[in-house]
Structure 1
């Protein structure tokens, strides 16, 4: 029963990712800050609920949080602290989900068989108490997806508290910058 559930999940996830890739190739603008802002604005009565929902589910599809954070700052320039809190909740729920789903989906067995040396290398780096700093640096650096380090941390069984703390601090600094710079863009 569990294997069937995994297969269904893989198929649905794959179909959705292929659909999103197709949509991106067809019209790259749909993932721009302006498009996301316009899309969210089209639901004026429920704008905050839509924003919260999109911020929390975007991580399941490995969509970067940056456009959502900046769109939130542009949509709610008078509620920047709330945008920061919503963004961090979305990022941390995504990080937690990827950490735990990495093993549940069975990717760890596959990667351990295919890349045993690389897995061991990352395992030794991410098992130490200094791993928090590695994750923090990764999370703070805007050109690499934070989702990857969360996923790898889950695969190699890095202590959750190290991953969570590193992601939280790194993303808090970065998201604070995005929120307040994003609000300035709207002036």
Structure 2
């Protein structure tokens, strides 16, 4: 089941990549900054709604939030607080979904069979009184996906409030930095 899902994902990813390369070869201008600005501004009324939907849905596909946060800051430089709110709602919804549905996704049995020592090690770390700090640090560090720690926390049944608090504090700091940095790019 897991291998079939991976194959389908890689095939879809490859098809999408080939499609974008084909589009670029046919008309490179559609990937220019000017074209993208004009395309986005032609949908000015709907763009906020699309941004909200994409920010919420992206977590269910394990797509990183960073590009969405930065794009939000660039699209809505006069509404940075709203971008922060939308981003955090999307991040926390995906963190919660991954936590609660980690067993349903079926990876827990696979991970426990393949990496029993690592699962036990993470279990002891995430059941300790300092688990919130570990999750916070993981969430704040931009080079590792927050989704992984939420998933592992759900598998080993870490108390939800510790996972939620750690992700929230770590991500709000990181997302605020991204929004501020993205807002500076407008200048």
TM more than 0.5: yes
**Deviation per CA, 1:16-49, whole angstroms, max 9, x where unpaired?**
5642354247648x9x9x7xx7575553221111
RMSD over aligned Cα atoms: 2.9
Number of corresponding residues: 176
The alpha carbon displacement at 1:14 in A equals 6.5
Question: TM-score, normalization: structure 2?
Answer: 0.83
Structure 2 residue runs of 5 or longer lacking an equivalent are: 25-30
- Counterpart CA distance in 2 for 1:161 and 1:142 is 22
Alignment-derived partner of residue 23 in structure 1:
16
Alignment-derived partner of residue 50 in structure 1:
50
Q: Rg larger in 1 or in 2?
A: 2
**Deviation per CA, 1:135-160, whole angstroms, max 9, x where unpaired?**
00000001111111111111111111
Alignment-derived partner of residue 154 in structure 1:
154
- Counterpart CA distance in 1 for 2:102 and 2:128 is 20
**Deviation per CA, 1:48-97, whole angstroms, max 9, x where unpaired?**
11000100111111111111001000110010000000000000001111
Structure 1 residue runs of 5 or longer lacking an equivalent are: 1-6
- The 5 Å alignment of 1:21-170 reads 22-24=15-17, 27=20, 41=41, 43-170=43-170
- Counterpart CA distance in 1 for 2:86 and 2:41 is 17
- Counterpart CA distance in 1 for 2:111 and 2:40 is 38
- Counterpart CA distance in 2 for 1:12 and 1:40 is 33
The alpha carbon displacement at 1:13 in A equals 8.5
- Counterpart CA distance in 1 for 2:6 and 2:48 is 26
- Counterpart CA distance in 2 for 1:11 and 1:42 is 40
Alignment-derived partner of residue 182 in structure 1:
182
* SS in structure 2 of the partner of residue 103 of structure 1: coil
The alpha carbon displacement at 1:15 in A equals 3.6
Distance 1:80 1:115, change over 3 A: same
Distance 1:79 1:159, change over 3 A: same
The alpha carbon displacement at 1:11 in A equals 6.7
